Amino acid sequence: MENIEHKHVEVRGLKLHVAEIGSGPKAVVFLHGFPEIWYTWRHQLVALADKGYRAIAIDFRGYGLSEQPADPEKDTFIDLVHDVVALLDSLAINKAFLIGKDFGALPAYLVAALHPERVSGVVTLGIPFMLPGPSAVQNHLLPEGFYISRWQEPGRAEADFGRFDVKTVIRNIYILFSRSEIPTAAPDQEIMDLFDPATPLPPGLSEEDLDVYASLYEKSGFRYPLRVPYRTLAVDCGITDPKVSAPSLLIVGEKDYVLKFPGMEDYIRTGAVKHFVPDLDITFIEDGSHFVHEQLAEKVNQLILTFLDKHAI
């Protein structure tokens, strides 16, 4: 960890925070989800660098140590796609592997679909190929208290989160997202009310780790994360029938609550996802949670390295 270098890189008029370790022509760019940040990839960064890869993790715009856009309410997932391509340009990387977790999977796949010449391969954790738009998540098939529905409602999550300090909010979300059930509140509850203070932190997350996450979100706040991904998930990104030609790997924890989204498990297990990503391998990890890359880091590292070594030029 102490060998990870930190810097800010100018990307489309914003300074993005970049954590980097390792060197050489084989570049890997990690794209985080929520409530994560560059630090979520701490185990993978070191493991890949030790095997000869140039490992790079960013804080997306509006997250952590990266700058906020002037008008966050105008941003969509496509801004993240453009940022990744511009980052590769700024770092003089012609082609890279992209590894995305949670909502970070969406820009990873979209960069590969729109700019295939820049992508050596794609690895995603927990989330298969999804196209932002009205049908991305079937909110109407889930109860009113579904956490995404609640967080898409302007002001509601802000009021809910605002009752607690940042560290408590991150702790609560991490614990809720580590369960195998979709976080869903009753009509008289908010999402933060689902948290039981007696619940220990999930495997792979320590109090010290939580302090790092909290310090980074204390800097950026939750305004941009609530915009992207949650409030732009249903915004059509103007892409029709995309195809990802790059070799790809999807790693899914068997106990990831996302598998219980309507249609999600069938979409993955039947191979329907391969309509969009034909060259896709799918690996399920028994007992793996939504945060499988932290929970079972060595197993995930080995899966990623095997894939990279197979497809690295």
Question: Where in the sequence numbering do the catalytic residues fall?
Answer: 102, 230, 290
Distances from the Cα of 115 to the Cαs of 81, 84, 134, 203, in angstroms? 10, 11, 24, 37
SS3 category, 46 = helix
SS3 category, 164 = coil
Structure tokens at 173: 């979300």
SS3 category, 252 = strand
CB-CB contact of 129 with 244 (8 Å): yes
- Which DSSP category does 193 fall into? G
Beta-strand relationship, 119-125 and 248-253: parallel
SS3 category, 195 = coil
Beta-strand relationship, 54-58 and 14-21: antiparallel
Q: Other CB atoms closer than 10 Å to residue 240's CB: what's the count?
A: 7
CB-CB contact of 29 with 45 (8 Å): no
Structure tokens at 201: 């932190």
Task: Give the contacts of 141 (CB within 8 A, at least 6 positions apart).
Answer: 262
Question: Can you list the positions of beta strands (E) in the chain?
Answer: 5-11, 14-21, 27-31, 54-58, 96-101, 119-125, 248-253, 280-285
- Which DSSP category does 32 fall into? -
- The identity of residue 153, as a single letter, is E
